[in-house]
Structure 1
Amino acid sequence: MRWLSISAAVASISVVGIAIGLGMPLLSIILETRGHSASMIGLNTAVAGIASIAAAPLATPLAVRFGVVWTMLAMILLGAFAFVGFYFAPAFWMWFPLRVLLHLALTVLFILSEFWISSSAPPRRRGLVLGIYATVLSLGFAAGPWLFAQMGSTGFLPFGTVFALVVIAAVPVLAAWRESPEIVAEGGSAGFIRYTWLIPTATAAVLVFGAVETGGFALFPVYGSRVGYSEGDAALLLTMIGLGNVLLQIPLGMVSDRIKDRRHLLLACAGVGLIGMLALPYIDVNWHLMAGLLFVWGGVVAALYTVGLAHLGSRLAGHELANANAAFVFCYGFGMMLGPQVIGIGMDLFGVDGFAWSLALFFAAYIVLLLNRLARPNC
């Protein structure tokens, strides 16, 4: 175990967790109070997915040219300043380029931190290490809404807090610069793209997770307010999702190390995701039932990312891993673009229940894909 390298990667991903966990509900609530529709909020959030798709093929060339550590540090600073920029941008159109800059930086951090941690983890303990990695990411998700509930959506305080935390997270990355891995770019853009289709059960898993996570986090505050919850209560429900992620990622990662075919675990996670969303409209009047459901649901659904990444790593090795991670995050970005739009349109067309129905649609489609692949032994 190269713990210093793992700590650096974990620190960088904590930046992503806090920025998304606090930023998504914060920005959505601000737009909601300004009178923008769910569709427009979803459109602005979907720009994050477009930025991620555009940034994914850039991560490897940037790291080859400037080094992993210096590229990550530059992205940390870019993300920090882009987030603060939302506070100083009064016009709605200004939020679109800021979303692009923020999520370009976060995407590169995702790719390089995953490459770094995969390079540092022994193959037989990959699930455990990725579980630790996902747990810290989930801590960011949990801490973000909790901070939002304490600070609210007015004033500079939430923006300044994210900026300070992001800058502090750069310290362990800089401390581990001597242990950073080298990336050798091979295969060009065609080599990058082919990994999107090479292991579809892994890449589709992260696409679904990206759609559910981004769309759900962005529009859940809107959903909560329309159901009748206060701003703080809705934010605390997001915290329950994050806490489920924190407690379940390491156990599920360890389980994945002991399963011959991780696709069966992915199928179980998608099944829990589908059932949870089908049940949501029937219990949304009871905050405590909602909190319990979302705690379990959030932890299991987040394993789509953890187990999907472990499944990808078990199928590939060596120089292929960087391009495969880029393809993995590329699909995550596509999900980020797709999710908010589908959920926002679903809520505009079908009312408040359209939130859960739209999320259920993603899980159902992925279950069909998994069953099809499992029915074909050679796939």
Structure 2
Amino acid sequence: MTQGAPGTVTAHLKMTVLSATVAAAAAAAGASYAYVDLSLHRMGASATAIGLNAAMPALAWLLTTPLMPTLLRRFDPGAVLRALLVVAMLSPLGFVLSADQDVWMALRFLFGGSLGMVFRLTEYWISAASPDDRRGSTSVSTPARSAPGPPWERLSSRSREPRAGRRSC
């Protein structure tokens, strides 16, 4: 091993941890879409209410992303990531504890906002941890690491599509 090897191992470890964080967050987000939508349907929510609830993660991403620079200037980035992950892990518990559709909308906003900020923070760190000569390819591969979410959503939505000859809800 050369003198630079420990730094290389550390960089690879950081990249692995960041990639695993992104993949876990994407899988959680993808699984939540189907679970919440189907649960709201079982609870008797209207299609409009289900649609509004489904829009909460995207709305949270749009509203929370501009807060990231200020948040990172005021607090330690590691502490910000840990706090966001705690919010992302605890908010789904509220779905189990409450049957109120309004509470679910707020929880989905919190869950989506925290995961959106986790994605942006880890994307920045992945780019910063990449060697200069590989930064572009690493940045391009970031969406591939988060791919478990959307395919899961698409597969689960197939079960909700109306069959031929049946009326949709």
- For the criterion TM > 0.5, the same-fold answer is yes
1:48 to 32, 57, 60: 57
The TM-score with structure 2 as length reference comes to 0.79
User: Residues 284-306 of structure 1, C-alpha deviation per residue, up to 9 Å, x if partnerless?
Assistant: x7xxxxxxxxxxxxxxxxxxxxx
Q: Does residue 1:225 correspond to 2:160, yes or no?
A: yes
**Letter in structure 1 aligned against 2:162:** V
Contact 2:29/2:112, CA 8 A, preserved across alignment: no
Q: Does residue 1:107 correspond to 2:116, yes or no?
A: yes
What is the aligned partner in structure 2 of residue 258 from structure 1?
none
User: Residues 318-347 of structure 1, C-alpha deviation per residue, up to 9 Å, x if partnerless?
Assistant: xxxxxxxxxxxxxxxxxxxxxxxxxxxxxx
Matches within 5 A, 1:101-250: 101-139=110-148, 141=150, 145=152, 217=153, 221=157, 224-228=159-163
Contact 2:68/2:117, CA 8 A, preserved across alignment: yes
TM-superposed CA distance for 1:19, in Å, is 1.3
**Letter in structure 2 aligned against 1:61:** T
The TM-score with structure 1 as length reference comes to 0.38
Q: Secondary structure at the match of 1:100?
A: helix
User: Residues 33-65 of structure 1, C-alpha deviation per residue, up to 9 Å, x if partnerless?
Assistant: 222233221111112222112211122222222
TM-superposed CA distance for 1:4, in Å, is 2.6
What is the aligned partner in structure 1 of residue 98 from structure 2?
89
Paired with 2:101 and 2:41, the residues of 1 have a C-alpha distance of 12
Gaps of 5+ in 1: 146-216, 229-284, 286-350, 353-379
Paired with 1:17 and 1:226, the residues of 2 have a C-alpha distance of 23
Paired with 1:57 and 1:17, the residues of 2 have a C-alpha distance of 21
What is the aligned partner in structure 2 of residue 21 from structure 1?
30
Q: Secondary structure at the match of 1:102?
A: helix
**Letter in structure 2 aligned against 1:227:** P
2:39 to 26, 30, 33: 30
What is the aligned partner in structure 2 of residue 77 from structure 1?
86
User: Residues 160-215 of structure 1, C-alpha deviation per residue, up to 9 Å, x if partnerless?
Assistant: xxxxxxxxxxxxxxxxxxxxxxxxxxxxxxxxxxxxxxxxxxxxxxxxxxxxxxxx
What is the aligned partner in structure 1 of residue 75 from structure 2?
66
User: Residues 72-91 of structure 1, C-alpha deviation per residue, up to 9 Å, x if partnerless?
Assistant: 01110111000111111111
Aligned length: 157
Identity fraction in percent: 24
Contact 2:30/2:148, CA 8 A, preserved across alignment: no
TM-superposed CA distance for 1:132, in Å, is 4.2
Moved over 4 A (4+): none
Paired with 1:4 and 1:141, the residues of 2 have a C-alpha distance of 26
